Amino acid sequence: MDYFDFKNGELYCEDCRVLDIEKEVGTPFYLYSAKTLERHFKAYEDALHGIPHLVCFAVKANSNLAVLRFLGELGAGADIVSGGELFRALKAGISPSRIVYSGVGKTGEEIKEALNSGVLMFNVESTGELEKIGEVSRTIGKAAPISFRVNPDVDPKTHPYISTGLEENKFGLPVDEARRAYEYASRNEEFLIRGISCHIGSQLTEVSPFVDALKRVLSLVDELEKKGIKIEYLDMGGGLGIKYDNESPPLPEEYVKALKTTIGSRDLKLILEPGRSICGNAGILVTKVLYKKKTPKKAFLVVDAAMNDLARPSLYKAFHEIVPVVEQDAKMSTFDVVGPICETGDFFARSRSLPEVNPGDLLAIRSAGAYGFTMSSNYNSRPRVAEVMVYGDKFKVVRRRETFDDLIRGETFFHE
Q: What are the φ and ψ backbone dihedral angles of 103, each rounded to 5 degrees? A: 110, 145
Average pLDDT over residues 42-61: 97
Q: In terms of pLDDT, which residue wins out, 161 or 56?
A: 56
Q: Are residues 223 and 80 in the same domain?
A: yes
Amino acid at 71: L
> Does residue 342 carry a catalytic annotation?
yes
pTM here? 0.94
> Do 367 and 268 fall into the same domain?
no
**pLDDT tens column, 213-227:** 899 999 999 999 999
244 is a domain residue? yes
Measure the N-to-C terminal CA separation of the chain; round to a whole number of Å: 55
Q: Which of 248, 277, 306 is the last residue of a domain?
A: 277
Binding residues, by number, are 239, 273-276, 312, 316, 343, 371
Specify whether 206 is located in the same domain as 77. yes
Tell me whether the omega of the peptide bond preceding residue 340 falls within 30 degrees of 0, making it cis: no
- Structural domain includes residue 170: yes
List, in order, residues 6 or more apart from 194 with CB less than 8 Å away.
Answer: 120, 121, 145, 146, 147, 232, 233
Summarize the annotated binding site for pyridoxal 5'-phosphate as residue ranges.
Answer: 239, 273-276, 371
Q: Read off the pLDDT of residues 69-80 as tens digits, 9 standing for 90 and up.
A: 999 999 999 999
Query: CB-side exposure of 394: number of CA atoms within 13 Å?
Result: 3
* Domain assignment present for 178: yes
Sequence-separated (6 or more) residues with CB below 8 Å from residue 416:
none
Please give the Cα distance from 259 to 396 (Å, whole number): 38
Q: 12 and 49: one domain?
A: no
Catalytic residue selected from 13, 56, 279, 342: 342
Mean pLDDT for the stretch of residues 12-37: 98
- On whether the CB atoms of residues 233 and 121 are closer than 8 A, the answer is yes
pLDDT in the model for residue 246: 87
Per-residue burial over 81-117, b = 16 or more CB atoms within 10 Å of its CB, e = otherwise: bbbebbebbbebebebebbbbbbbebeeebbbbbbeb
* Residue-wise pLDDT tens digits, 178-198: 999 999 999 999 999 999 999
What is the structure's pLDDT at 28? 98
- Tell me the residue type at 41: F
Question: Mean of the pLDDT values across residues 141-148?
Answer: 97
Within-domain flag for 414: no
What is the pLDDT at residue 153? 72
In this predicted structure, what is the pLDDT of residue 212?
87
Task: Answer whether residue 415 is part of any domain.
Answer: no
Structure confidence at residue 162 as a pLDDT band (50, 70, 90) = very low
Q: Does residue 249 share a domain with residue 334?
A: no
CA 194 → CA 65, 132, 315, distances in Å?
28, 18, 36
Q: Looking at this protein, which amino acid is placed at residue 146?
A: I
Residue 160: pLDDT band by 50, 70, 90 thresholds?
A: very low
Q: Please, which residues bridge with residue 55 across strands? A: 272
> Do 226 and 284 have their domain in common?
no
* Alpha-helical segments (H) within 75-161: 83-91, 108-117, 127-140
Same domain, yes or no, for 309 and 233?
no
Residue 236 to residue 275: CA distance in whole angstroms: 13
Smallest CA-to-CA distance from 320 within 356, 363, 382 is with 363
User: How many structural domains is the chain composed of?
Assistant: 2
User: Given a cut of 50, is residue 158 above it in pLDDT?
Assistant: no
In the listed set 235, 251, 277, which residue is the last one of a domain according to the structure? 277
The residue among 400, 287, 390, 410 whose CA lies nearest residue 33 is 390
Known binding-site residue numbers for substrate:
276, 312, 316, 343, 371
Contacts of 312 (CB under 8 A, 6+ apart): 318, 320, 371, 372, 375
Q: What is the CATH number of the domain that holds 381?
A: 2.40.37.10
Q: CB of 210 within 8 A of CB of 252?
A: no
Higher-confidence residue: 360 or 205? 360
Co-location of 324 and 239 in the same domain: no
Among 236, 257, 277, the domain-final residue is: 277
Same domain, 149 and 205: yes
Whole-number Å distance between alpha carbons of 395 and 391: 6
